Each structure stands twice: as structure tokens, then as C-alpha cells.
Amino acid sequence: MNSKIKVYDVMSSLDWTVFCVILLLTFLSVIYGHSLKKKTLKTDDEKESFLDLILMGRQLTLPMFVATLVATWYGGIFGVTAIAFEKGVYNFVTQGAFWYIAYLIFAFFLVDKIARYKAITLPDLIEQMFGPKSAKVCGVFNFFNVLPIVYTISLGLFLQLIFGGHLWQMMILGILIVVAYSMYGGFRAVVFSDIIQFFVMCLAVLTVLLLSLYMYGGPTFLVNNLPKQHFTLTGGESWATTFVWGFIALSTLVDPNFYQRVFAAKSSKVAKVGIIISTLIWFIFDICTTFGAMYAKAVIPQADSSYAYMIYAIQILPNGLRGFFMAGILATILSTLDSYLFLAGTTITYDLVPRKWKGKPLLHHIGIVFVGGLAIVLAIVFKGNIKVVWKTLGSYSASCLLLPVLYGHIFPRKISDAQFVFACICGVVATTYWRLVAHQGFLKHVDELYIGILATSLGLSVFAAMRHASRKKIL
């Protein structure tokens, strides 16, 4: 098996036919979703139109909830499979197990709490919990949290693998297509395209694992052909580094995509059951991608880790299934990219603009175009390194925003608007300082995420102590 191939030359006519049919079905689903909007929305009221645009009128049923949530979560498949190729089981721990804990915490402890607010976005919820200043700070964090840099890179890598050319050219081509259909149908278009993409992406990665087991055998083959560290929980990394991913996974508790789907669900029960079902599906999906990439490492160890899983899969799959797999990988990327692109546009045009401009559909479309352009620029700045993007943006979200929001849920009305803002600023300053300054000895092994969490906690505590002292002095 070759470690380098030209995908375009390997694909047969049948493969391209299957690939194009699935793409056509995806775009037809967008058109179908848009036609349903015309039947469902019986009013020209601008507020109702905007609610339908970004939350599908809060009519998300359980099947649609599961399909869109699962599909939205795996656009960084190039990054996940690269980690599994290089580190083995470590990928399942850091990109799987930690996240399942966060999902279940969200389902059992947060869904009912946030459903009663009837919010439209996460910053809207934060404003109701803490105040308007906190909402603006949350909006800024949200924007960078959902800025689809990783998924722009992933789409560029996918198109580059097929057509060649420069990465930046392929990223621009991909973004233009996704921007077009995201603007056309709103959140409804995202959901209906996710339904097609959900089935294709899950079946594609499952097929690769089943064929690998058939051709090479079970775990014994992997044990005999992979380094021992591929079967350790830390993959050769320290426990401190491993647990950083655990805190990043907890940033799910402040992830606007989760909140958007909960806000869009028909009921809190739909949201809760939907997250539990989605977690089971993610568990199976993670097994498929982790072990699929490990088979790739065992068979073509010299391959570029970014492309290894794709190159391996294409060579073991027969005609027809090869095209289905390629469509599945593209579906995995698109289903996340369109959701993040749409939500980042919503953050700008609903959460960050002056109140008088909120809820304007035209402004939302302009926001999506702006986000697409910015994502390309930052993808180039990060030099196409998916892991660095995840680590950087995830660290800020987990260390600065997570604790204040959780404290707000646990102790309602106990944290003031100014206290929330102060704590977040402390976290940002500390995290940025630790990233930029060189450290010696033990300190160089301390991740900036831990420093950010400590600073945020101290910010909450110091502000509370100062407020208490001030009240005591007045009395």
C-alpha cells in the first residue's frame, strides 16, 4: 500500500457518480428545508422571521436534534485522525472520553436550567443570568469559539488532496460554497443538510473499520505493528498535558452550538434525550476513527499524519464505496463548518451589534460573509495547524468563560455583572501572559489553561471579597 497517492487518479467513474449524487442530495435537502420554511412561517413579522432563521422557530424534533448535533461535532476529522495516527488510544481519551463526561453533565445538569430562560443565543442567556456587560464579554468569547478556522482548514485539506493546488485557494473555494447555502436557508438549511451528512459520515467511517478488521484482523494485528505507547492512555504525553484536553472538553458547557440546539428544541426533554443518544453515537464514531487511523499507522507508517487516514481508506475501499467514503468525509467537514459559520455570523449580528440593529436578516447574511473571510485569514495565520487552533481557542474558552458560567448556574444571582466581567478579564490576561512569556524549570511544564483557570477563580473570589468588605464598611 502506498503512503502517497493522487486521489483524483484513483477515483473511478462510479466513485465520482456516488460522490456527486450525495452532494446533490445534500443541496436538495437545503432547498427542501427552505420550502418548508415558506409553509411553516405564516407571518412577515421581522422578529418571527429572525427566530425561524436562527432557531428554526424552536421546532427541532428529536431525530433532527440528534442528526444536527452529531453531525456538527466532527468537522475536524483531519485533526482527530492525525492525533490517532500519531498517538493511538490517546486520541480516544482526549477527543472522546473527556467529552462524553461533558456531554452528560450538560444533559443532566444544565438542560433544564437553561431551557426556562427561553433565550435565543448563549450571550442572551448570560445577559439574563448576569447582565448586559457580561453578555458582551460572552459574545466576544463566543465569536472566537465558533469561528470556523479548523473546519476551513479541514475543507481546504480535503479539496487539496483531490485537486491539488495551494491550501489557501482550496479554502476560499470551499468557503464560498458553504457561505452560499448557509445564507440561503438559515439554520433550517443547516439542520436539513446535517440529516443527510449524518448518515453518510457515520456509515463511511464504520465501513472503513469493518473492512480493516476483515483484511488485517483484530487487535492482535495492531499490537504487533504499532509502538506500545499507541495503547497507553497518555500516548507518551504527561498526565498534565493529557488533562488539559479534559478541561478543553468541559468548554462544551459553554459551547454556543450546544446551546443553540437546546434553544431550538421543541422541549427540554427532546434536548436531554437527544444529547444522551448523540453521546452513544459519538462513542461509536470515535472508536471507528481512532482504530481506523491506527490501522493506517500500522499499514502505511510513513504517511503524512494529516492525510494518512484518507489515503489508507481510499486504497482499501472498492469502487463505489470509495466515492461514498469521500462524500462521508466531506459531509463530516461541511456539517460542522456550516453550523459554526452560521453561528459566528449570529454572534456578530445579534449579540455584538447595538440593540437597534438586532434581528436583521440582511445584517446576518453580511455577518456570515465576514466570518467566512476572517476564517480564511486566520487559517493562513495558523499555517493550517488544526491542533494548535483547537488548543489555543479551547484554552481561552475553558479557562476564562467556563467557571463564571458554571458558578452562575450553581449559585443563581450570586455573581454580579461586574464580577463576571472582572473574572473573565483576569483569565484572559493571565492566559495570554503565560503563552507569551518564556518560563524555566517546573513552570515551563505548566499549561496556560491551568493559569487561566486559577486567575479566573481568583478574580471571582477577590471581587466577592472586595464587595463584601465594602458593604461591611458601609454598615
CA 323 to chain CA mean position, Å: 25
d(CA 235, CA 90): 5
What local confidence, expressed as pLDDT, does residue 223 receive?
94
The β-bridge partners of 265 are 60
The dihedral sign for the CA sequence 387, 391, 392, 394? positive
The β-bridge partners of 60 are 265
Residue 349: what residue type?
T
Domains (ranges, CATH) in the chain?
Answer: 7-384 (1.20.1730.10), 385-475 (no CATH)
What local confidence, expressed as pLDDT, does residue 346 receive?
82
CB 71 within 8 A of CB 194: yes
What local confidence, expressed as pLDDT, does residue 54 receive?
75
Nearest to 146 by CA among 111, 118, 121, 173: 121
Fill in the DSSP letter of residue 318.
P
Name the stretches of the chain with pLDDT < 50: none
What local confidence, expressed as pLDDT, does residue 464 receive?
81
d(CA 77, CA 292): 12
Sort residue 186 into left (φ over 0), alpha (ψ -120 to 50) or beta: left
Nearest to 70 by CA among 262, 285, 253, 272: 285
d(CA 121, CA 135): 10
What local confidence, expressed as pLDDT, does residue 128 receive?
92
What local confidence, expressed as pLDDT, does residue 47 receive?
63
Residue 163: Cβ within 10 Å count: 12
Which set of grid coordinates corresponds to residue 106? 450538560
Nearest to 198 by CA among 349, 316, 370, 26: 26
Fill in the DSSP letter of residue 251.
G
Fill in the DSSP letter of residue 117.
T
d(CA 125, CA 131): 9
Name residue, grid cell 464598611: 473
What local confidence, expressed as pLDDT, does residue 284 receive?
94
What are the angstrom distances between the C-alpha of 145 and each of 139, 340, 469?
10, 9, 36
